[in-house]
Amino acid sequence: FGLFIFKNQYNWRHRYQFCTSDARRQIDDGLWTYRPNAHLNLAAVYGFPFGTPWLEYNCELETNQFGLTKTNSSRRDSYDLLVLGDSFTEGQGGCPWLTTESTANLGFSVLNGGLHGTGLVEFANMEGYLAARTEIRDVLILAISNDFFRAPDSSWIEKAKPCLVGGLCDERNLWWSFDGEFTRANLERVGRDRVAQRYEADAPSAKLLSLSEQLAWHSMSARLISTYIRLGVKRVASQSKNEENEAKFESNMAALQSLREKFPHLRLVLIPQRDEVGLLGGKNRKTRLVESRLGADNIPYERCELSTSDFMFIDGHPNRKGYDKLWRCAFEGYAPGAAKRSTASVENGSPRLARRG
């Protein structure tokens, strides 16, 4: 039970992400991609100011002419299916899963439009960007509930360019460029450097607080207390923040409706997040809001059910096993342009896919 708390109450503040230098490009204010036709590395190291950082994942990414993950159909005048999504579709954590190899025998062409940190508005922006350059015949959306509450923003790429390109980073950067070889030893070494940089200006009391937080990861009671504190803070969130989230939600729902109007056979698959699975898991507030609104608007959707063992040890992304399940949710029994598909539960390790609406 203590291990469950440890794995589910991860803290993003202690994640240090590294990528190949100059890996991203800004298209406009609401759209970005990776560098086209490139071989890139993406990695995440977790660490505290005390102790040894550890490498959580280290992935390679091949991009196509659009700056997106390369699939079975790199250069075509048309694509049977565009898959839109966030980091779960891109494949952070367990590494890219919707790739040239995994789509080779599907029998139809697939374009992977997944990019981390994006939401439904950016999904629609991506579809528009690609539709101006190639024909898209059908769309599949793989989404977590957070995607319905995100605002399109690619300005962070230009703002962080000194770090993303030149390596001139500070403690505020979420991604750091790294031009060395992406080995465990190298990444854990630069991870130690970044931990030191982030906490260099901290007072001793701040470091002790972080140490107590680190020790609390191993204490079930402390994690439960911390959870209740965070829930209490959320309950007293300002009205302006609630209004901001409501505006984001409406914008993302409008983007979904516009895609459905353009693609009558569009499929929407909802994916649970780590805090929604396992013994103490359950649909979080955002997921309940999203499903309620989808039902009220008569928008059909499916759920791809994952379990605790389908996620990384600390990071909130699926592992390879989880992404294998996601692949089956997306493609087993599916043909582009089909209005209906089989959603029967499958035993022996296959995910449970339920259709709603």
Residue 308: which residues within 8 A CB-CB, separation 6 or more? Answer: 4, 7, 8, 274, 277, 278, 279, 281
Q: What is the pTM of this model?
A: 0.84
Residue 278: which residues within 8 A CB-CB, separation 6 or more? Answer: 4, 8, 307, 308
Pairing status of strand 81-85 against strand 110-112: parallel
SS3 content of the chain, % helix, strand, coil (to 5): 40, 20, 40
Task: Select from 284, 304, 303 the least CA-distant residue to 295.
Answer: 303
Calpha distance 58→337 (Å, rounded): 36
Where does residue 51 rank: exposed (0-12), middle (13-18), buried (19+ CB within 10 A)? Answer: exposed
Contacts 24+ apart (CB under 8 A), 162-166: 164/19, 164/21, 164/22, 164/23, 164/24, 165/21, 165/22, 166/21
Calpha distance 97→89 (Å, rounded): 8
Contacts 24+ apart (CB under 8 A), 21-24: 21/164, 21/165, 21/166, 21/167, 21/177, 21/178, 21/179, 22/164, 22/165, 22/177, 23/164, 23/177, 24/157, 24/164
SS3 per-residue string spanning 121-159: HHHHHHHHHHHCCCEECCEEEEECHHHHHCCCCCHHHHH
Task: Select from 260, 262, 286 the least CA-distant residue to 272.
Answer: 286
Task: Select from 50, 54, 55 the least CA-distant residue to 216.
Answer: 50
Give the model's pLDDT for residue 269: 98
HSE on the CB side for 177, CA within 13 Å? 17
- Assign 274 to helix, strand or coil: helix
Calpha distance 353→318 (Å, rounded): 17
How does pLDDT run along the chain (357 residues), one tens digit per residue? Answer: 344 444 444 456 688 999 999 999 999 888 999 999 999 999 999 987 777 889 999 999 999 999 999 998 766 789 999 999 999 999 999 999 999 999 999 989 999 999 999 999 999 999 999 999 999 999 999 999 999 999 988 888 888 888 888 778 776 778 889 989 999 999 999 998 888 877 765 545 555 555 555 555 445 455 455 555 555 555 555 556 677 889 999 999 999 999 999 999 999 999 999 989 987 788 999 999 999 999 999 999 999 999 999 999 889 999 999 999 999 999 998 877 664 443 333 333 445 455 555
Calpha distance 70→75 (Å, rounded): 10
Start-to-end CA distance of the chain, whole Å, equals 36
Q: Is the dihedral of CA 248, 317, 198, 169 positive or negative?
A: negative
Calpha distance 73→52 (Å, rounded): 42
Is 119 within 8 Å of 152 (Cβ atoms)?
yes
Give the model's pLDDT for residue 348: 36
